[in-house]
Amino acid sequence: MAFEVIYTDTRTKARLGRLTTTHGVVETPMFMVVGTQGTVKGLEPRDLLETRSQVVLGNTYHLMLRPGREIIAAAGGLHRFMGWDGPILTDSGGFQVFSLAKLRKITDKGCVFNSHIDGHEFTLGPAESMEMQRVIGSDIAMVFDECLPFPCPEDRAIKSVEQTLKWAKASKDAPHAQGQQVFGIVQGGVYDQLRRKCAEGLVDIGFDGYAVGGVSVGEPENFMYQAVDASVPYLPEDKPRYVMGLGVMHQMAECVARGVDMFDCVIPTRVARHGTAITRRGNVAIKAAKWAFDQGPVEEGCSCYCCRNFSRSYVRHLLNAGEILGMRLLTIHNVWRLNEFMAEMRTAIAGGYFADWKEQIKETT
């Protein structure tokens, strides 16, 4: 069995799970670090091990353009190319249907893009996406879908769900790498009936796991929870559930309470490059002058490599001097913090006190 639910919380829908992939076993709930172009920005594979990262997320659209299918194939797949022997999940490129809306045109077969790099025209649809993911050799491949913006008119969302289901079937039917799992993606915007229709349609097709897409695209927090509530009840209990693009601690805890198992987000690496540390007491701007003489760690009580060895004063100096090490140390801390947060969450579920723990999180994050 690829996914096993080990324990379900009695007061919420939170669950402990174990996902078996070709490159290792993953404990859920979990957070996946984003390595869009075959690297987690600022980190080496050994840093990923140090920060207890379980899965790296790569992006089909970006890897298709650079370095390209031929180079990754010559390397024997993305695992060998990037020197990472753990599990990899690849996004299909469907998010770029949303994020690069000015550079693409949707057709029944997929999207015609103008490359954001040099402007050349190319097609990315279910066939091209799944073939690229087959060459990449990811442990989990996402179906090609259409990620909707917020706000989105209902008539537009209706057409999108119909298209997403057609693309999901084409993605499922395409050739895959040996042992590669394929996840469907629920779309439907803020329309509950469309979310249900999409979820039930995907279950009819049958996938190894299911994601809730089209969230964290600028909508208010309550709409994000609404999308999860309108999707998860119609997904199988014996398959992993994944909310895409979410990495805020209290939001992940709320989604886990709703039965979600997996998350990813660029937040920990992105904010680190801008000098922000993620802590259990909220985000901290390390560049601030008040830390100039502070000899304490970036976060009190943290046991990451950064906090064990360096002071706020030193990391602030590096950041303000434009030294790469400052961004790298803060990235290590932020990735560690989210992975530790998920480990604490798993402990709370196993210990039977997740509901109380979740309420405390609201006050401290």
- pLDDT for res 100: 74
Which residue, chain included where needed, has tokens 């895959």? 176
Backbone angles phi, psi at 175, to 5 degrees: -65, 145
Are 55 and 88 contacting, i.e. CB atoms less than 8 angstroms apart? yes
Catalytic residue, candidates 47, 91, 145, 261: 91
pLDDT at 115: 86
Tokens 């259409």 identify what position? Answer: 146
**pLDDT at site 97:** 66
What local confidence, expressed as pLDDT, does residue 364 receive? 77
Residue 261: active-site member = no
pLDDT attached to residue 108: 80
Main-chain dihedrals φ then ψ at residue 294, nearest 5 degrees: -80, 120
How are beta strands 121-124 and 110-114 bridged, if at all? antiparallel
User: Which residue of the set 9, 47, 145, 264 is catalytic?
Assistant: 264
Averaged over successive runs of 10 residues, the pLDDT of the chain (365 residues) comes to 94 98 98 98 98 97 96 98 98 80 80 88 93 98 92 94 96 97 97 98 98 93 97 98 97 98 98 97 97 98 98 98 98 98 98 96 78
CATH superfamily membership of 3-265: Queuine tRNA-ribosyltransferase-like (3.20.20.105)
Domain boundaries, the chain: 3-265, 267-356
**DSSP class of 11:** S
Query: Residue with structure tokens 């979600």?
Result: 260
Beta strands in 23-91 (DSSP E): 24-28, 30-34, 56-59, 88-91
211 strand-pairing partners: 185, 242
- Token code pair at residue 310: 């360096």
pLDDT at residue 109, as a whole number = 83
Q: Sign of torsion, CA 278 283 285 290?
A: negative
Task: Identify whether 204 is a catalytic site residue.
Answer: no
The predicted structure's pLDDT at residue 122? 85
